[in-house]
Amino acid sequence: MLDQVNVIASDLRRSPRFYRQLGIAFPRPLENSAGQMFHAASSAQSGALVELDSPSFAPVWNAGWAQRSDLVGRVVLGFRVCKRETVDQRFKELTGDVYRALQPPFDAFWGARYAIVEDPDGIAIGLMSPIDASTATAPPPEWTL
C-alpha cells in the first residue's frame, strides 16, 4: 500500500513552507548534533506520510545514492508491506533481472525492514515493513538528535 512520499529537498527551510500551503502541517525541523537540519515529516490529510530530507541525509538510508550529486528533487514513493520477510521477497521478485536495486533489504535503524528499487523510469520505490521497536538501533552518530 502506498503510504509515504519522500522528497529530497535543496532547502529544508523553504520547502516545508511550500508544502504547508498545500495543507501539510510540518512540526519543527529536526537537527543533528552539528546543527544541520536534515528531516521534517507530517501526516497529510490523505493519511500518507510526507517527508523532506536533505541530499546529505538521503544516502544514509539509500546506499544506491552514495556519492551522487544529483539528488535534489528526487522522490521516493514508499510502499508498506505486511511483514519483514515480505520486503526481502518483493525485492527479490522486482530485481531478479528486471528492475535496478538501489538499497538491498536491511534492518533500518528506525526499526523497519527496508529496501529500495527503481521503477522503469528511475523513480525510487521504497519497500518497508511495519516498524518493530525491538529491532530499532541508534541512527548513525552524525545524525543523532
Domain spans of the chain, in order of start: 2-28+38-128
Could you tell me the pTM of the whole model? Answer: 0.82
Tell whether domain 2-28+38-128 is in CATH 3.10.180.10: yes
Note the pLDDT of residue 145.
Answer: 47
Residue 144: what pLDDT? 52
Residue ranges of the chain whose pLDDT lies below 70: 28-46, 142-145
Contact 8, 72 (CB under 8 A): yes
Q: How far is CA 133 from CA 42, 60, 93, in A?
A: 20, 19, 27
